[in-house]
Amino acid sequence: MIRLQTVLDSWRKIREDTAQGVSDLPEAAMDEILVEGCMSFRETAFHILEVSHCVTGAILAGVDDMAVPNRRELLDRYKMHLPDSPSGEDLAEALLESMRDRTATFQEQPVEFWAGEITRFDGQRVTRLEMLQFLKEHELTHRSQLFMFLRLKGIVPPTTRRREAARRQPA
């Protein structure tokens, strides 16, 4: 059985590292596209924020079917209000703010809320908690892209910096 607090604690740490990675990249490199047809670093970070904030907003508002033709309009109701191209620092702060806000609201929901089923974008029925797990996995996928971008720019991602620092600590 998966527990809400376990998902939230894990996602919060993932989000902190995502935000740190966004902060680590110089502003001048935020809009570079390394592979034609792929999103820039800024677009990828914005996508992580927008998808998680909009979908969790819809879940909290009681939306139970996301496999609808007007999904974009439905989710747009729950967007964070940011400029079209926020600075890296503003984007990093918005990522953290969204997680703080949503986590507090998630924890107020009764257990039955998280056990309730919704229809995901692909038509699959999942519990709300399973949907949160799906969003966390979505972020991990795109965070990997951000971290690869950092590596290509010669910047060590925060997860590696933390692991290296721990390895240097005396036992």
Q: How far apart, in Å, are the Cα atoms of 34 and each of 48, 91, 105, 134, 140?
A: 18, 20, 37, 27, 19
* CB-CB contact of 57 with 78 (8 Å): yes
Identify the DSSP state of 27: G
Does residue 32 sit within a domain? no
Identify the CATH number of the domain in which residue 97 sits. Answer: 1.20.120.450
In a domain, 67, yes or no: yes
Q: Residue 54 is encoded by which pair of tokens?
A: 């909009």
Q: Give the pTM.
A: 0.93
Per-residue pLDDT of the chain (171 residues; tens, 9 = 90+): 789 999 999 999 999 999 999 999 999 999 999 899 999 999 999 999 999 999 999 999 999 999 999 999 999 999 998 887 899 999 999 999 999 999 999 999 999 999 999 999 999 999 999 999 999 999 999 999 999 999 999 999 999 999 988 888 886
- Any idea what DSSP says for residue 39? P
Domain of 140 in residue numbering reads as 4-26+37-165
